[in-house]
Structure 1
């Protein structure tokens, strides 16, 4: 206890000094504003509903806001006060003082009457129709705060709701959908609900042709004089609503300009259009096949305008990825004489060809340094149906500057082609998806050569054919009924390989011929685009199979293996799930969590998943306190001085938790804990021909799962520039599963002052984007 007294006293002294330094530059008569205090019904012992939330909301509505603080310290004001009184308009001094720092917020800036009115207005909007608010200021030393006392009265509830009488088409639509009303008898009076009710009615009318209708044409009359703290609500259409807003409109003509630009505007409008179904297409260059617009435009001539078709058409044209600009224009022919609209669709295509070039540098924890260059050619609208062809080639070079094979050079070459069709291509069937999102058929073919100097070469071929579609804004599916992977190794110096196999158990799995023919499916759900949510979720689940169907048709060879073209056929089924949750504690702090689990079952020719399909642990997006692919399987420990530390498994379990907080501007910080491991379904006993090639402790046992988890922790800095995120995470292990039982927790061994400890335990991870 005595050892803690000095640090506590020192911390308290720092807080006192920090507090004083925030007011030392104030002039006589100036007081630092420390914030607002809300007292709700102080003379009553009865609390209102959700009093804590109401109090917090009222505090947030007061202006101005006090200086920002962290752990009670107004750090931005401290930085501002550290700068001299006068700084140059440009330079680091001005940046620190006015960009990173923050000038003191003074009590004199507080407008009590204005805040009284704002708080009272909010309370009335929530049903406290008799609310009163009085504010005052309190000064103590060089600081002051505002105190607002609110007497809410009893919250009013809805007694009855009346809708317009069914006397015409418009009122009939309102009456027909009144059961969907957001207003419910017995609910509290709530102004936001009333506004949303007007929007709901407007949506119903927009779906029935009322193009020019507006929520402002509706009035909700509230009668609070009936007594017993109840209100009657009467919904009606304003008498001042214009004629154009209260009649439905139909589509007269649909004019499409597929190759539009301002420069060609006058020329295009003089062309004789191509008549195709309900469309007039103005394009003398025949940029797109006319049938493409059957899948993009949902309107038909003569039908009523409706908002659903409007939104789906726009979304499809935008999501197609073929247009730089999309604009839909509805023009009334003559709103006083008829009720018809002309629809003009202006589409500006993206450039047909584009070329992108990228260069990456690598500095790996296993001693490899090198670089890679990649060139990608994109051709759009290949067959005039908004198809897209991406062809890329990349080459890389790495050399090992430390480790067992210092001086080993590694080369790679990759070529890939991907062709995307904006529709489902299914033999003997033409499915039609009618939502806002474009379904896609994707076919790809790739080849990769990996040359490990004189040791070995790997030739890898992969081809896929499948479909990608979105069910709605939240749900996405990907299904590849055909996925083929062929890996053919070429071995080099046998003596060097033998020594590597002895030093790195499991490496020989990389050099096995692999022929994988299977299918895969994945499902993704996310609501992260809903920024107003306090909690958002991301989930991705996938299943992949190999050799299941083909295994029924191929025969076994002399040693009992099923082969195709002389290559053993890999048979397996693999499941993986990734669940993430993001909880906003406040606007500056987010708590992010991830659960990731995978299971693979190999059968037939295989005892474990093929190497290219295995799970891996460690690295900048995984368990950050361990080097990439160096953790596991199980309690097995790989020799980290070896450049071939790729350890894979059939089973994976990982949990991550991370507290993310804003520091200043785009600079953010994070504190995190990662836990997990990988295992083989069956322990690796090695090959009889290779001594010590087994991996003891690599097998999975459910009862040992928690005891064999690795745990790491650390902190990070991120620069979030919206379009990209640069991340630096520093992490170290606090539990090592490969140590003997009872010695796996190593928190007491942490010693940042020791160079040896840092070299063996502290891992720096540099990444692009968030880890999850």
Structure 2
């Protein structure tokens, strides 16, 4: 019997074993419940609209749910049976049975009549007003399932819609906005749409002062007796609605307690307030300058209450980062008999000083280390206008092991000070915004030491002045019109200098003065966990030496210098797009596309080293050493120092993430990409200051050949995801090596896990903090 027959025999034997193992723990008379099957109009030749999704929705609503399974294998039930009945409430058997496993779901637990009612109710809510669902069970051996037959009838549509017809102010507001109605003639009857329509009307009334109105005061009357499977819709205000809900309210007094504490409640209310604009501020400690609240509270005296001002005021007070508690009380004057409200804002301060420790993992396309620990001292309300000062120190590391070819360990140390003003400081220009998010002006200064083992150190001093503005909860803009970065190498001797020159890394040795601007735009809906598909986009543009280059004089060699350092001139673009698709509960398919392009001109032949793009590493193309891939088809010697940057980058990542147990997660992934230079890197002769550069072949980006020069790798990983931090271990190996001759670059046929020499040359182990993307 050859090996293929043995494999087939083993496969079918496994299927038989898996099928039997799910029922072997059942007691006599017990039937394993395998799930529900819904048949829609089986005796009719007609199909309903979107029958597949309706069938899926009905099956999802049946209870109980059968045992969890993957490709038909009930893995939790398998572990439950494998453990058996433990003798003690501890030990491996108890853990396996209670944590990894779950008891069998039995057919006797299925309540047919209850499910019939639930499914019928759902169909009626979707417009199938004459639907009937009947259920039964089907048993085969020790397994059984429930079968539900749904006879839907024809789906009803809306024939006409009417709103309150009286001449009152409330009815006028409802009718003025009826063009925005979610109910449309010709649409299907849908109970969820009716609920949302009541909420829409309530929002319209709240904008006009109806503070005590509620969607429950509206009733939707449906007449389905008109024939032809049509319904007439009448929207009415209930007669039992209270008087307070049927009249608009105005704001009388706005009282602000900016340093509120429950223990000081009575004392604070007895204070003489400071009156500023429309506010009465009770703050005997002068915690804030009064004008601050003009930017945070949108209500004005004697105006109608409206929900927009309410929401934006609360959002700004919460998002400013100064208050740990925000409460808004609207109190009616004279017990609802008039139409005025007093607004009391109770604001509880956060601690003025706090110390935080964080563990973060990032995925940057430059040479800086991605994972770090950070200690931050925060001082709030520095100048009594809700400013915030953050002083932090952080240290990062990056390590990668590849058997014979070991990646170089890197570490970084960073000290940073950042002062944030909750407003836009723009000379000669007064800017005001009215959305829920407070615009910010940020001034920062930092020092970073980046060490590449024993080879060299980079010292970076950076200062920025700029603005941060959230357009909405999805969109964020950061613009730094002034960005100054001075980089100087250190710990270099002649031997190290010569080796870097010979590898085309002259840029590492050069002092760099980067004076320019940068803009960053971020879109994300990742905060909406209920979405099945989440997106993230980050786009950035950076310029260096553009305006300054117009006024900086040239030296004797024709180079523009500032403080005896050559001025860099470039434009750098980068885009990072990520998609997170939830296949099922606990299983996510994550994808990323990252592309960057740099254009150097004038003083510069290539992007400055600290702004170049790199490929390979624990957050990048994990089957290759960090920063060792490329440029193009260039092959870096295995024993050489890896820091091969480029002007152009293309990268694609895909990763299937799944929960194994508790905080332990797994991943299967594939990465592809490379970096290139815009120009060739020809040989250069030796000079008095530097050795000869042998040049690098195949480094230039050629659009027609870029796809054939992409590296590809794959692998698997384990992650400990404790929510507050993630520790990651990935193992990867290459599938395609761009530095091999054309036609030999795919190396799938050379994979041999049984060979120690193959493992030593190809397996790459990555250790990181946080997810790679």
TM-score (norm 1): 0.94
Deviation at 1:115, TM superposition (A): 0.1
Question: Which residue does 2:541 correspond to in 1?
Answer: 543
Deviation at 1:637, TM superposition (A): 1.7
Deviation at 1:740, TM superposition (A): 1.0
Q: What value does the CA root-mean-square deviation take over the aligned residues?
A: 2.7
Distance in 2 of aligned mates of 1:537 and 1:5? 46
Question: Which residue does 1:747 correspond to in 2?
Answer: 748
Question: Which residue does 2:239 correspond to in 1?
Answer: 239
Q: Which moved more, 1:289-298 or 1:66-75?
A: 289-298
Residue 698 of structure 1 pairs with residue 695 of structure 2: no
Q: Which runs of 5+ in 2 are unaligned?
A: 362-368
Q: Assess if the C-alpha contact under 8 Å between 1:576 and 1:597 holds in 2.
A: yes
Q: Which of 595, 603, 606 is matched with 2:604 structurally? A: 606
Show CA shifts across 1:45-97 (max 9, x none). 11111101000110000000000001110000011111131343344433321
Deviation at 1:348, TM superposition (A): 1.4
Question: Which residue does 1:366 correspond to in 2?
Answer: none
Residue 570 of structure 1 pairs with residue 568 of structure 2: yes
Question: Which residue does 1:662 correspond to in 2?
Answer: 659
Question: Which residue does 2:515 correspond to in 1?
Answer: 517
Show CA shifts across 1:310-366 (max 9, x none). 1111111111111112111212223431111121111111111122456999xxxxx
Deviation at 1:112, TM superposition (A): 0.1
Residue 289 of structure 1 pairs with residue 286 of structure 2: no
Q: Which moved more, 1:553-562 or 1:239-248?
A: 553-562
What SS does the corresponding residue of 2:313 show, helix, strand or coil?
A: helix
Distance in 2 of aligned mates of 1:675 and 1:464? 34
Residue 716 of structure 1 pairs with residue 713 of structure 2: no
Distance in 2 of aligned mates of 1:703 and 1:77? 53
Show CA shifts across 1:469-516 (max 9, x none). 0111211111000111111234642244324533xx133211101111
Deviation at 1:719, TM superposition (A): 3.6
Distance in 1 of aligned mates of 2:109 and 2:402? 63
Distance in 2 of aligned mates of 1:194 and 1:603? 61
Residues 97-496 of structure 1 mapped to structure 2, 5 A cutoff = 97-357=97-357, 375-394=375-394, 413-450=413-450, 457-490=457-490, 492-496=492-496
Q: Which moved more, 1:657-666 or 1:272-281?
A: 657-666
Residues 40-119 of structure 1 mapped to structure 2, 5 A cutoff = 40-119=40-119
Q: Which of 678, 681, 684 is matched with 1:684 structurally? A: 681
Distance in 1 of aligned mates of 2:405 and 2:715? 31
Distance in 1 of aligned mates of 2:680 and 2:458? 26
Deviation at 1:374, TM superposition (A): 5.1
Deviation at 1:195, TM superposition (A): 0.4
Deviation at 1:755, TM superposition (A): 2.2
Distance in 2 of aligned mates of 1:155 and 1:632? 61
What SS does the corresponding residue of 1:97 show, helix, strand or coil?
A: helix
Distance in 1 of aligned mates of 2:666 and 2:482? 43
Pick closer, same or farther for the CA change 1:405–1:635 going to 2, 3 Å. Answer: closer
Deviation at 1:114, TM superposition (A): 0.0
Residue 649 of structure 1 pairs with residue 642 of structure 2: no
Pick closer, same or farther for the CA change 1:207–1:91 going to 2, 3 Å. Answer: farther
State the number of aligned residues: 761
Pick closer, same or farther for the CA change 1:512–1:329 going to 2, 3 Å. Answer: same
Q: Which moved more, 1:762-771 or 1:381-390?
A: 762-771
Q: Assess if the C-alpha contact under 8 Å between 1:224 and 1:230 holds in 2.
A: yes
Pick closer, same or farther for the CA change 1:412–1:477 going to 2, 3 Å. Answer: closer
Q: Which moved more, 1:349-358 or 1:61-70?
A: 349-358
Deviation at 1:556, TM superposition (A): 1.9
What SS does the corresponding residue of 1:269 show, helix, strand or coil?
A: helix
Deviation at 1:608, TM superposition (A): 0.7
Distance in 1 of aligned mates of 2:160 and 2:313? 40
Pick closer, same or farther for the CA change 1:81–1:395 going to 2, 3 Å. Answer: closer
Q: Which of 530, 533, 538 is matched with 1:532 structurally? A: 530
Show CA shifts across 1:683-726 (max 9, x none). 22243223354222111111110010000111223343344333
Pick closer, same or farther for the CA change 1:464–1:292 going to 2, 3 Å. Answer: same
Show CA shifts across 1:356-411 (max 9, x none). 456999xxxxxxx9x987543221111111111112235689999999999x9998
Distance in 1 of aligned mates of 2:400 and 2:244? 75
Deviation at 1:670, TM superposition (A): 2.3
What SS does the corresponding residue of 1:445 show, helix, strand or coil?
A: strand
Residue 25 of structure 1 pairs with residue 22 of structure 2: no
Deviation at 1:412, TM superposition (A): 5.9
Q: Assess if the C-alpha contact under 8 Å between 2:30 and 2:106 holds in 1.
A: yes
Q: Which moved more, 1:470-479 or 1:726-735?
A: 726-735
What SS does the corresponding residue of 1:700 show, helix, strand or coil?
A: coil
Question: Which residue does 2:364 correspond to in 1?
Answer: none
Distance in 2 of aligned mates of 1:404 and 1:730? 15
Q: Assess if the C-alpha contact under 8 Å between 1:597 and 1:653 holds in 2.
A: yes
Distance in 2 of aligned mates of 1:380 and 1:279? 23
Show CA shifts across 1:216-263 (max 9, x none). 100000000000000000001000101111111111111111111222
Q: Assess if the C-alpha contact under 8 Å between 1:273 and 1:283 holds in 2.
A: yes
Q: Assess if the C-alpha contact under 8 Å between 2:389 and 2:420 holds in 1.
A: yes
Distance in 2 of aligned mates of 1:629 and 1:94? 47
Q: Assess if the C-alpha contact under 8 Å between 1:454 and 1:493 holds in 2.
A: no
Residue 770 of structure 1 pairs with residue 771 of structure 2: yes
TM-score (norm 2): 0.94
What SS does the corresponding residue of 1:615 show, helix, strand or coil?
A: coil
